[in-house]
Structure 1
Amino acid sequence: MNAGLRITTFAAALAATFGTAYGVGKSLDPVVEDSASPRHESHSEASPSPSPSSEGGGGHGGHEAEPAGGLQVSEKGYTLDLETTRVTAGRPSDLRFVVRDDSGRAVTAYQREHDKELHLIVASRDLITYRHLHPARAADGTWSIPVDLPRAGGYRVFADFTPARKNAENLTLGADLAASGPYAPKDLPAPDATAEADGYEVALDGALRPGTAGDLTLKVSRNGKPVTDLQPYLGAYGHLVALRSGDLAYLHVHPNGEPGDGTTEPGPDISFAATAPSTGTYRLFLDFKHGGEVHTAAFTVRAGAAGAASDDEPTDVPAPPATHESSDGHGH
């Protein structure tokens, strides 16, 4: 074969390869947008991880630091088997999954935490859309719940649970979910000390610091007046989840105090102790209940080096108010 013929043949093969890759790429739709919510008990803070890309285990149980959760599909003998890996944006779909043990059998016994056996979080990769769901479990161990994701793109599904066995640890396992349809990316909202949620205003005070427990206080008001009659939701006056921008490392923290303990007031303040797994930007989602409805407020915060500020400005506190993005998305 002469040189000219070899070059022509190679060019044709290369064009075919790129054509196939382009077709596959067009059939898969990336990340999402929109927003909304999560839960409670003896949950703790996640501890520092070496880097945003490191993988770790769940993040609950007392107040001892633990690795960031949700980065692994399998951990400590359990695997999240997501049967529904693709849905269509804007259309109701049935999300189904099974948690399997190290022998491959479906887990059918769980400890109840915050009034539920399992808490399911669905978040878009751009951290704009957020859902805190409580699926139903069939006798064979299959979990299912209807979902309606508003925009196309990539999502992360988090299953937060504790198996019903002696000395079992709380786990947060994660798996990827795709929503097909026209994709229009959104930027993460700028850091802001206030957020609007269904006519409520929530103010955030405190710092999220890597490797060090810090207090976060969220004050709920409506029409300029403090809300002092918050209702218990899953055993608490508020639930807070933090997701790290980039890899969506999962951190679920438990509020300080609980309804009926004789000291915790039903608002307007809800306080938490939290530790960031690392420096970086995080999206916080607060769920609270008032007037018989669950509402979700979302914040973007930056966690800087422990005990130090950046050269430009403190990175572990919210920046001055910016454009508010509301959250939506509870499901039971």
Structure 2
Amino acid sequence: MRTSTRVAGFVAVLALVLAAGWAGGRWLGPDEDTVAADSAGHGHADDATAGSAGGSAGGHGDHGEHGAAVAAGLQVSEHGHTLTLAEDTLPAGRQELAFTIEGEDGPVTAYDVAHEKELHLIVVRRDLTGFQHVHPTMDADGTWRVDVDLEPGPWRVFADFKPTGGEAHVLGADLFVPGGFEPEPVGEQQLAASVDGYDVNLGGGFTVGAASTLTATVSKDGEVVDLEPYLGATGHLVALRAGDLGYLHVHPEDTDRAEFATAFPSVGTYRLFLDFKHGGVVRTAAFTVQVEGAGHDHGTHSHGDEGEHEGGHKNGSEDGHSHDH
């Protein structure tokens, strides 16, 4: 066989091998678009297109293209900042939770104020019960401290903050509480809750990717109540995705009504916690939402309230705790 013929045959075989390898890579590993989409999941409303959802996310919730929310809080560390718990195991009961936000040069000590606080801390058991939204105090060395109520089981701690001169972050870390633990089921969709004599209803669109306005209505003795300002707004809404506890944090579209602009990032079950304030007391109502794909919509309607919460709630449901602030 002539040398030129052998070379041509080798080149043809090599081309086939390279083509097969490229195709295998497309099937067995993520392409560049997938990697870019996953990486985009760690931005924040301050540096993304939060406004495209029809309202401000208040600097807490992540938003992607066309206003679609992106779940945050899945990482303990990002962009040079790490959430470090002083203890990752605590006994059950009323306990002090201490932590630092570690930067490249040590603990961060300078933060921007967002919604009247330098740092918002969410503590929730992994079965989406025991929800608490608290505001710790910081020592001079950058250590944050706050008391929380803990029951046995695995917990997730979310720190929502913006270092001065830096980007906003939502970081998450696991906390373990030893003892007998039986998880509570998330349950079916539930858009109504009763808290300390208040009836709270949540309505809106619950479809993946579509910009939607969620509206909360708070009533007492059959009459809709006027909510009092809480953290500079008429309400405070946190959504957590069942399974991985992906974190969505949104705020009202305007300061007079409890209307929240958001878009859910994926199908699945979400637990939504609404803080509202009335009579000088902050309460939390919990809802369970089933988010469907395009072509499905299980929305309702209502108006809601805001408030400040420091209490736990079981099964995302109808029990709430009152707190004076």
* TM-score normalised by the chain length of structure 2: 0.74
Q: Cα deviation per residue 1:112-171 (whole Å; 9 max; x = unaligned)?
A: 00110000000111112100010000010000111121x211110000000101xx2211
Please tell me the residue identity of whatever aligns with 1:296: T
Pick the aligned partner of 1:296 from 284, 292, 297: 284
Aligned counterpart, 1:177: 175
**TM-aligned CA distance change 1:124 to 1:330, over 3 Å:** farther
> How far does residue 331 in structure 1 lie from its aligned partner after superposition?
9.6
1:220 shift after superposition: 0.6
Which residue number in structure 2 is paired with residue 82 of structure 1?
85
**1:200 maps to which of 192, 198, 202:** 198
Structure 2 counterparts to residues 43-122 of structure 1, below 5 A? 56-61=41-46, 62-64=50-52, 65-66=63-64, 67-89=70-92, 91-103=93-105, 105-122=106-123
- Name stretches of at least 5 consecutive residues in structure 2 with no aligned partner: 1-33, 53-62, 65-69, 301-315
Please state how far the C-alpha of 1:243 moved relative to its aligned partner. 0.2
Distance in 2 (alpha carbons) for counterparts of 1:270 and 1:173:
26
Cα contact 1:303–1:317 (8 A) shared by 2: no
Matches within 5 A, 1:162-311: 162-165=162-165, 168-228=166-226, 230-258=227-255, 264=256, 269-305=257-293, 307-309=294-296
Query: Cα–Cα, structure 1 residues 298 and 70, in superposed 2: closer, same or farther, change >3 Å?
Result: same
- Kindly tell me: are residues 248 and 59 of structure 1, through their superposed partners in 2, closer, same or farther at Cα, counting changes over 3 Å? farther
Cα distance change, pair 115–99 in 1 and its aligned pair in 2 (3 A) = same
Structure 1 or 2: more helix by fraction: 2
SS at match of 1:326: coil
Name the aligned partner's letter for residue 84 of structure 1: E
By how many angstroms is 1:58 displaced? 4.9
C-alpha contact (below 8 Å) 2:72/2:248 kept by paired residues: yes
Contact 1:245 1:280 in 2 (8 A): yes
Deviations, residues 163-193 of structure 1 (Å, cap 9, x unaligned)? 101xx22110000001111112211132122
Shift of 1:304: 0.9
Instruction: Count how many residue pairs are aligned between Structure 1 and Structure 2.
Output: 258
CA shift, 1:329, in A, is 7.9
Larger Rg: 2
1:142 aligns with 143
Q: Which residue identity lines up with residue 197 of structure 2 in the other structure? A: G
Query: What percentage of aligned pairs have identical amino acids?
Result: 48
- Contact kept, 8 Å, 1:58 with 1:173, in 2: the verdict is no
Distance change >3 Å, CA 134–CA 58, structure 1 → 2: farther
* Pair 1:328–1:76, CA change in 2 (3 A): farther
Change (3 A) 1:80 1:161: same
SS of residue paired to 1:148: strand
1:70, 1:173 within 8 Å by CA — same for their partners in 2?
yes
Unaligned runs of 5+ in 1: 1-49, 259-263
Describe the SS at the equivalent of 1:234. Answer: coil
Matched residue SS, 2:42:
coil
Q: Which amino acid letter does the alignment assign opposite residue 116 of structure 2?
A: D
Structure 2 Cα separation of the partners of residues 247 and 217 of structure 1: 25
Alpha-carbon distance between aligned partners in 1 of 2:89 and 2:324, rounded to the nearest angstrom: 19
Question: 2:153 corresponds to which letter in structure 1?
Answer: G
Secondary structure (helix, strand or coil) at the match of 1:301 reads strand
1:77 maps to amino acid: G
Distance 1:126 1:331, change over 3 A: farther
Counterpart AA for 1:196: S
- State the one-letter code of the partner of 2:81: Y
CA distance in 1 between counterparts of 2:211 and 2:233 reads 20
- Answer yes or no: is the 8 Å Cα contact 1:279–1:304 preserved in 2: yes
Once the two structures are superposed, the pairs formed by residues 6-45 of structure 1 within 5 Å of their partners are: none
Amino acid at match of 1:257: D
Deviates more, 1:64-73 or 1:246-255: 64-73
Contact residue 131 and residue 328 of structure 1 kept, 8 A:
no
Q: CA RMSD in A?
A: 2.4
Answer whether contact 2:126 2:155 (CA < 8 A) is retained. Answer: yes
1:121 & 1:58 partners in 2: Cα distance?
19
1:205 Cα offset (Å): 1.2
Contact 2:203 2:216 in 1 (8 A): yes
For the Cα contact (< 8 Å) 1:302–1:317, is it kept in 2?
A: no
Report the AA paired with residue 143 of structure 1. Answer: W
